[in-house]
Every structure is written in C-alpha cells, then in structure tokens.
Copies of this chain bind each other. A is one copy, B any other.
Amino acid sequence: MNNRNGAEANQVSQSVATTGAARRTPTLADVAAEAQVHIGTASRALNDATRNMVKVETARRVRDAAFRLGYSPNVIASSFRSQKTSSIGVMLPDLTNPFLPPILRGIEDVLTKHGYVSLIGNTDNDAAMELKLVETLRARRVDGFIIATTKRTHPIIENIADSGTPIVLINRTTDRNDISAVISDNAAGIRDAVNHLVQLGHSRIVHIAGPNFLSTGRDRARAFKEAMHDHKLPVSEADISSCDHYGIAEGCAATKQLFATRSDVTAIVAANDRIALGALQALRDLQLSCPDDVSVVGFNDMPFVDLMTPPLTTVRVNQYAVGAQAAEVLLDRIANSNAITKTVVLPVKLIIRGTTSPCRSRQST
C-alpha cells in the first residue's frame, strides 16, 4: 500500500509535469522536450554565442518550440551557473540632484542595448551608506561598477578597483590614475568662462570653489588660477572662496564671506550651477543686481537653469554622453578583461545666457 501510494504520487506529479506544464512557467527542459532535442542542445540553440554549434534547422526548431511555449529564460539560473549577472551597480550621491538623471539615462540606454541592467543606489555622501551599498551590490554579484561619488582619495572605492572588479568613475576621479573614468574638460570650461568675462571687460573676477577633496573642485580652482594668470590678472587666495559641499546654501555663504572683504568684484566664476544659484541668492541678499552689478557663470548646465530669471550663463557638460561613455568603457572592460584603463575627457561648451553682461565697474561701497 505504501508502495502503491508512492507509485500513485509519482504518477500524479508526472502528470502535473506534463499536462500541467502549461501552468508552470516553462523551463529549458520543456523547450527541449517540445523540440525533441537534448536540453544542452536547446541551450546552445537559444544562446547567440553558441548558436553556430548547432545545425541551423535544429536551432530553428528549438526557437519555434520556445516561442510556442512562451519560454522566458530564467536569467537567475543562467547568472548562477555562468557567474555573470549582466548587471552593473551604480553608486550616486542622490538621484534627486537634477544633474544626475540625464547621466543615468545615458547609462541605461547603452546598458539595455547590451542586455545589461543597472542597480542604482543613493548614498547621500554618507560613508556608512556607501559601504552598505557596495556590500549589497557585491552580494548581488554585479559585473561592474559605475561610481559618481568618489573623493580624491576614497578607500572603499579603491578597494573595489583593487579587487579586480571592473569599475569606472564619472564626473570625479581619484588621485590614482589606474582607475578608468569619464569626466568633462574642467580646465577648458573654466578657461572659456574666464575668457568670456574678460572679453566683457571684467578684471575683478573671483571664484567660488568646490571642495578641494573632490577632483572637480581642485581642478576647477586650479584652472581658474591659470586662466587668470594667462590674462595677466592678479589672483590671490583671497579671490577664491571654497565650499565644502556643492550646495546652494554653501554657495550663498561663501559668496557673502568673500564679498565681505572684497567690494570691487564684478564677476563670479562658480564651481558648479548649485553654487552659482547660491551666489545669485547672495547677490540678491546684498542688494546687488545680476548681471548689472555682478556677472555670474556656473558649471554643468543642469536642467532648468535656462528657465530662471535671468537664465544662467554656464558651462554645459554633456551629461547624457558622460553616462553613455561610462557604460561603454565599463562594458568594454568587462568583455575584455585586459582592456587598458583610460580616462575619457568629454568636451564642454560655454552657454552664454543672461547672468553675464559687459562690465560697468561698480563703486566701492
């Protein structure tokens, strides 16, 4: 009886596995059975890389069977066996920063074109969250990383690179030059901005800098000094005020602090658009008009700065391209593990709008 029950149970589960197959989502085994081939052959027939190992007629039969059954390959099973997840981790400070979505879109577009998918995480520039995120992404076995949050030295990130996992940095780089990166031409952008202001007759130009521990902050400040120097304009440390964060409030505060000691300034080169927004706020608070009293130029050309009044003159970086390029570089590195590490520098373009105008040197207060 026990035996008999067992036999019955077997038969039932058997019948479930056959007639009931329509219920379950079909597996490769179902497809192979339907196409009358071995499961291994079915696998090869369905996989682009191994398609040529099987007769074209057989391949067609398998694909037909797969279609007939509505087969959807189980990517998890595939990832598990092949140790490739076709997914990449993206580490951002905060998705809500309008500068980032176009970059993400660029990343997504090239990833999906290659059958990859991205896992996005926000860190709010918090070290603990960064660590947790990296652990999560590692646990999910992402094939590579795109990182938008690095400081000039950053142990967590350097650790990823050292572990041999493909990685590419965007916007910001580390001081180490053995990690691939996609950045914009900070030096050229700042130079163009200064040139523009000089052409408008400005000579008392100051720089509201970003954090020195970020490559963008350091590079743009350095470029500012060089550009001033090229124009034989004096530039001292007093002409540069640094923010320890790329924020509107910080930009406002830094501007006010600088204006407290300098009353003849007629133009501001801000390290990025948010700092520029803060500078504009500061000018308003100081009862100064932009651009009549003081000209301002930003950096990034993030969405909507063209709709403000006055619209912001700024250095446009091609955000979408940064993302797309980063994904390309990363996928290249994944496909070809000894691809050289490279830093891609994308061109920028000064967009002249309403916050800059000819200099009418203002009176000292």
Taking Cβ atoms with an 8 Å cutoff, the residues of A that contact B are: 72-77, 79-80, 85, 94-96, 98, 100-102, 104-105, 108-109, 112, 117-122, 135-136, 138-141, 277, 303-304, 307-309
Contact = CB atoms under 8 A, between A and B. Distances in A.
Copies of this chain, tallied across the complex:
2
Contacts of A309: 308-309
Contacts of A117: 119, 136, 140
Contacts of A303: 96, 98, 304
Contacts of A100: 101
A98 B95 CA distance: 11
Contact of A76 (B79, B98, B102): B79
A202 to B, nearest CB: 25
B75 A77 contact: no
> Closest 3 CB pairs between A and B?
A309-B309, A304-B304, A80-B80
A277 B307 CA distance: 10
A108 B80 contact: no
Contacts of A72: 135, 138-139
Given A76-B79, A120-B120, A135-B72, A104 B95 contact: yes
Contacts of A105: 94-96, 122
Contacts of A76: 76, 79-80, 85, 140-141
A356 to B, nearest CB: 18
Given A308-B308, A309-B309, A120 B136 contact: no
A307 to B, nearest CB: 5
A141 B79 CA distance: 12
A75 B139 contact: yes
Nearest to A74: B141
Contacts of A277: 307
Nearest to A302: B304
B95 A108 contact: yes
Given A75-B141, A112-B121, A307-B307, 16 more contacts: A74-B141, A75-B140, A76-B79, A76-B85, A76-B140, A77-B80, A95-B101, A96-B102, A98-B303, A98-B304, A101-B101, A105-B122, A117-B119, A117-B136, A304-B307, A308-B309
